[in-house]
């Protein structure tokens, strides 16, 4: 595995003429990944790195990753360098890369660009989206059942996250008496602001917290453990942080989408567009349950997940029929 540093790129025309023949086969050559922060620090980013390593092992190819790539110019520089290294499949590990890839894809039609949870696409740009509404719903059901104060909370990164609406619906379905307190950091990684919101929600009596963000989820869970209340893990199974505190986790198996995209690209089957995945595709699941969750509650949630996978309908939707 190679880690690259950003350098000043060569001119576009020189790179295009120098490596145009390299991609004539159309199959997977080398693979690159761009991340906004670090590939090793937080749950979402770690899963991208894990997916990249799985591609390296499965295809015996060279893989590269570049960190702290946030602006259009930084993306251009990174893509230029990756292409010089023979990369023809590039992952952008967030929704932010969609608008960048949409533009850059015109310069590199031989390269396929993949990113997550966005709406932009071209012939060689693919967005892989998690339908996260349902995972939030089941987490909300569990929170509504386990709260003793009838106050639960969400510390979301952004208001548009479908899992937050799902969480609200799940809580109110399971426990109509419960109040859901919502706050938004407006940043996936705003630890300090998230902790301020946590303190406010604790003051409101919340005893189950859903930290639906990247960098701050672990910190919030640790504080919830210290305060003797419950939390819901996010993106990864975070039960290892505090087994009793973490009622369950809403897990997105991002690494599996990496290998799936690489396999499809290698077979010539990866198409530009927007594709959505859910529990039925086995790329979303619930994590381990806390030993604090009664067996009958655990069984209820598991049965509802199975019913959703079979029917595509959440419990409130089946009840409305």
Q: Is residue 210 part of a domain?
A: yes
Quick one: 198 and 87 in the same domain? no
Classify the C-alpha dihedral 159-39-81-257 as positive or negative: negative
Q: What would the 3-class secondary structure string for 150-170 be?
A: CEEEEEECCCCCHHHHHHHHH
169/176 Cα distance (integer angstroms): 10
Coil, strand or helix at 216: coil
Quick one: 308 and 192 in the same domain? yes
pLDDT per residue rounded down to tens, the chain (321 residues): 344 433 333 333 333 333 444 444 448 999 999 999 899 888 999 999 999 999 999 999 999 999 999 999 999 999 999 999 999 999 999 999 999 999 999 999 999 999 999 999 999 999 999 999 999 999 999 999 999 999 999 999 999 999 999 999 999 999 999 999 999 999 998 999 999 999 999 999 999 999 999 889 999 999 999 999 999 999 999 999 999 999 999 999 999 999 999 999 999 999 999 999 999 999 999 999 999 999 999 999 999 999 999 999 999 999 876
Quick one: 26 and 144 in the same domain? no
- Determine contact, residues 144/178, Cβ cutoff 8 Å: yes
- Determine contact, residues 153/178, Cβ cutoff 8 Å: no
Q: Is residue 286 part of a domain?
A: no
Quick one: 9 and 111 in the same domain? yes
The whole-number pLDDT of residue 319 equals 80
273-277/125-130 β-pairing = parallel
Q: Which tokens belong to 318? A: 């089946």
The whole-number pLDDT of residue 3 equals 44
Give the number of domains in the chain: 2
Quick one: 181 and 112 in the same domain? no
- Tell me the residue range of the domain where 52 lies: 2-130+254-281
- Identify the CATH number of the domain in which residue 316 sits: 3.40.50.2300
Q: Write b or e for each residue in 130-141: b if 16 or more Cβ atoms lie within 10 A of its Cβ, otherwise e.
A: bbbbbbbbbbbb
Quick one: 152 and 299 in the same domain? yes
- Determine contact, residues 280/267, Cβ cutoff 8 Å: no
Flag whether the pTM goes above 0.85. Answer: yes
Q: Is residue 40 part of a domain?
A: yes
Quick one: 152 and 84 in the same domain? no
The whole-number pLDDT of residue 4 equals 41
Q: Is residue 37 part of a domain?
A: yes
Q: Is residue 24 part of a domain?
A: yes
| Element at 2 (helix H, strand E) | strand 2-3
CB atoms within 10 A of CB 85: 14
Quick one: 39 and 51 in the same domain? yes
């Amino acid at each position: 595995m190679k880690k690259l540093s950003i350098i000043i790129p060569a001119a576009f025309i020189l790179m295009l003429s120098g490596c145009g023949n390299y991609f004539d086969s159309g199959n997977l050559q080398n693979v690159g990944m761009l991340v906004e922060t670090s590939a090793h620090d937080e749950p979402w980013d770690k899963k991208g790195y894990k997916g990249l390593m799985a591609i390296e092992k499965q295809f015996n190819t060279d893989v590269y990753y570049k960190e702290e790539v946030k602006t259009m110019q930084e993306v251009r520089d990174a893509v230029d360098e990756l292409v010089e290294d023979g990369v023809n499949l590039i992952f952008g590990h967030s929704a932010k890369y969609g608008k960048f890839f949409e533009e850059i894809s015109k310069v590199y039609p031989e390269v396929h660009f993949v990113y997550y949870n966005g709406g932009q696409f071209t012939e060689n740009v693919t967005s892989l989206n998690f339908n996260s509404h349902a995972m939030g719903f089941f987490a909300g059901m569990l929170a509504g059942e386990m709260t003793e104060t009838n106050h639960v909370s969400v510390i979301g990164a952004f208001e548009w996250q479908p899992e937050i609406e799902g969480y609200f619906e799940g809580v109110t379905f399971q426990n109509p008496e419960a109040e859901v307190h919502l706050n938004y950091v407006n940043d996936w990684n705003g630890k300090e602001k998230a902790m301020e919101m946590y303190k406010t929600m604790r003051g409101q009596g919340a005893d189950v917290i859903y930290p639906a963000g990247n960098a701050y989820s672990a910190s919030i869970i640790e504080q919830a453990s210290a305060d003797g209340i419950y939390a819901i893990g996010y993106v990864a199974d975070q039960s290892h942080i505090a087994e009793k505190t973490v009622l369950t986790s809403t897990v997105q198996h991002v690494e599996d989408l990496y290998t799936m995209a690489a396999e499809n690209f290698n077979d010539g089957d990866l198409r530009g567009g927007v594709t959505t995945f859910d529990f039925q595709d086995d790329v979303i699941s619930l994590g381990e349950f806390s030993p604090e969750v009664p067996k009958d509650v655990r069984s209820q949630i598991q049965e509802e997940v199975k019913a959703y996978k079979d029917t595509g309908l959440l419990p409130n939707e089946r009840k409305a029929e």
